[in-house]
Structure formats: C-alpha cells, structure tokens
Amino acid sequence: MAQGVLGVAYPRAALIGNPSDGFGGMTIAFVFSDFHAEVRLEEHDRIQVLPGRVDHLDWDNLDDFQNSVTSMGYYGGLRLLKATLLVFIKHCQESEIALHNRGFKLSYTTNIPVLLGLSGSSAIIAASLRALGTWYGVKMQSWQFADLAWRVETEELRIPAGLQDRVAQAYNHPVFMDFDKGHFNANPYGKYEKLTRPLKNIYIAYSDTLAEGSEITHSSLRERFETGDVKMLEAVESWKNLTLTFRKALEKDDTDTMNNCINANFDIRNKLVTLQPKQVDLVMLGRKSGASAKFCGSGGAIIGMYKDKNMLERLKKDFAKANVNILLPNIVHST
C-alpha cells in the first residue's frame, strides 16, 4: 500500500436541461480541467481531517472577515470531507466490505471558483471518494460513485441537489442524463449515456462578484415542484424537450438549433423565478455578440456557444470591458 494517495475532480458545466435534474428531467453536462479539486490521503497514526484555506476561524480585521465570508460563504470544505468519509464508511458496512485499520490524515485544496454554479463543493466530495476508494481498494461503478456523492450532500448535509453534477464528475465525460422516475423505480440509477459527438465552440464566463449558494435557488424550485406548481411542472417538461432537441441537433451538427435551445433554456428559467438582475445582465452580455448564453448551474457563471473566431473576439471584448472572466473549457473525455 502506498504511503499516500491523491483524488482529483473537476468543475461541472451544465450545457442544457438544468435545473430539471432534480425533478425527473434530462440534462447534458460535462466536466472541464481548467480548475480542479484535490484531496490527499496520507498515512497517519490516527484519523485526522484537516481544514483547508477557507476553513480558518481567524482574520486580520473586520474587512478581512467580511471579504472572506462574502467571497467564500459560510462553509468551507471541512464538513464535506467529514460527511464523505461517513457516507463511505456506511456504504462499506452496507456492502459488507471490510476496511483495514491503518490511520490517515485527509486534506484538500481547490482552485474552483466558489458559489458560481460550477459544482465546486461536489468536486471536493468526488475527489474525497476517489482518494478513499484508492486507499481502501474499494471499487465503485460510475453510477454508484455518483449516488454516494449525492447522498453526502442531500442526506448528510441536507443540501437540496440533483444528481447531474455528481454524474458528470463520476463519468469524467460529457453525459446525456435522463432522470426518469420510472427508470429509478426499476434501477438504482438514471439513464446515463456518454456522448460520442464532440462539443464544439463552447465558452464559459463568470464574474467573481455574483456568488450565490445553489441551495437558495434549489430550495424554492423544490418546494414549487413538490406542491405541484403548474408553471414549475411545465418548465421541467420544456427543459426535457430542449435537451432531447439539443441532442438530436448535436448528432446533425445543427449549431443554430443548439444555440436556440441554450437560449430558450435560460429564458424559461428567467420567467419562472426572480433572478439577480446582474446575473441576467451577464447572460445578455454573452448574447450581445450573437452567441448563446445560459447559466452553467445555479448562477454566477454562464455557458454558451459561439459561431466563429470573429464572434469569439467580440465576446472577449464585451466581457473584458465588464471585468468578466472567459475561458474555452478543456472538456474532459475519459477513455
């Protein structure tokens, strides 16, 4: 057994269908390697879970405290490591998998922008599961890995969340996901299919000043869905249809239809809930050049497609003037 192991996971970008993943919908999402979370597990004489950079409890002054909480939120990664370890132990007990008794210390680092809808918290969880699985020699199927990561947030930490982020991070490949309830009744997982067609001319843009926890959005939508809100139910069906239409267009390399689907995805969301005006402005800024734009996740970061190099240059100029970051994601494709 090695003296230490490293687990790595990447941020997720939802290309179409979100946020229907938590409501029996369909989505297409991928992970990209421009940022990452790492969890390191090293042999130790005890079990030790170490805090990360954002978990500190002392600050230089009031301004330092305010800036820290405003930019990073109230929670760091320490609770994610602890909850993941607990879910992993429970899984092994339920599966009658014996674990060795060697101690370890668990630590993490991440450079994924926080609270921008890029699934940075889930990446820490996924990296933790990979490290623990390697350390104990426990193999997990991709769907099972995603389910365990989802249980960490929903069951242990009581954070409203769908499976989409965890599926993308489990498969490390662009995935079409169908969360049909009938399928879940017969199987412990949804319909997950790796996409074979390449995703082209994708951009991601984000503003560091638009941070907002995903639970704020998801809690409202969950309540409306469970109470049978007609507009919410209609929105879920529309997002599902857009996902199917997008996938068919992808097979035909029909970029006009794909762009229309991306824009419609956001427009439905914008009519369904009250969004931060600045977040709406970010989407409209992306569309100014003719590109499509929608939220990557819960808000703060957007994703879309551009037509050609000229449109990309216009995008870059528009975002630069507004101090918005833009990247062309290095999409991860597992073998």
pLDDT, tens digit, 9 for 90 and up, residues 168-217: 999 999 999 999 988 888 888 889 999 999 999 999 999 887 766 555 55
Residues 190, 277, single domain; the answer is: no
Q: Please report which helix (H) or strand (E) contains residue 61, including its range.
A: none
Least confident of 67-71, 138-142, 177-181, 258-262: 67-71
Distances (CA, A) of 187 to 171, 173, 183: 18, 22, 6
CATH code assigned at 16: 3.30.230.10
Q: How many CB atoms lie within 10 A of CB 113?
A: 19
**Which residues constitute the domain of residue 321?**
202-327
Identify the band that residue 219 occupies on the pLDDT scale cut at 50, 70 and 90: low
User: Based on the domain organization, do 61 and 10 belong to the same domain?
Assistant: yes
In a shared domain, residues 132 and 279: no
Say whether both 59 and 174 belong to one domain.
yes
Q: What is the pLDDT of residue 213?
A: 52
In sequence order, what DSSP letters do the residues of 195-241 get, joined into one string?
--SPP-SEEEEE-TT----HHHHHHHHHHHHHTT-HHHHHHHHHHHH
The answer on 186 and 224 residing in a single domain is no
Q: Are residues 68 and 15 in the same domain?
A: yes
Q: Give the pLDDT confidence score for residue 200 in this predicted structure.
A: 96
In a domain, 102, yes or no: yes
Q: Which pTM does this prediction carry? A: 0.92
Judgement on whether residues 186 and 211 belong to the same structural domain of the protein: no
CATH code: domain of residue 250:
3.30.70.890
Region 99-110: mean pLDDT is 95
Lowest mean per-residue pLDDT among 43-57, 217-231, 291-305: 217-231
Q: What percent of the chain has pLDDT over 90?
A: 76
If asked whether residues 160 and 274 sit together in one domain, one would say: no
Among the candidates 150, 174, 194, a domain finishes at 194
* 272-285: average pLDDT: 94
Q: Which residues of 261-296 are buried (b: 16+ CB within 10 A; e: fewer)?
A: bbbbbbebbeebeebeeebbebbebbbebebbbbbb
Closest CA to 89 of 168, 170, 5, 151: 151
**Positions marked active-site:** 165
What is the pLDDT confidence band of residue 161, given thresholds at 50, 70 and 90?
Answer: confident
Average pLDDT of the residues in 103-131 = 94
CB 117 within 8 A of CB 294: no
> Of the given ranges (156-160, 312-316, 319-323), which has the lowest mean pLDDT?
156-160
Q: Is residue 79 part of a domain?
A: yes
209, 175: one domain: no
Residues 146 and 105 in one domain: yes
Tell me how many domains the chain contains: 2
Is the model's pLDDT at 288 over the cut of 90? yes
335, part of any domain: no
Q: What is the pLDDT of residue 2?
A: 45
Tokens 């990664």 correspond to what residue?
Answer: 77
**Average per-residue pLDDT for the chain:** 92
- Per mean pLDDT, which of 50-54, 59-63, 120-124 is the most reliable? 120-124
Residue 174 lies in a domain: yes
Structure confidence by residue, pLDDT tens digits, 3-38: 789 999 999 999 999 999 889 999 999 999 999 999
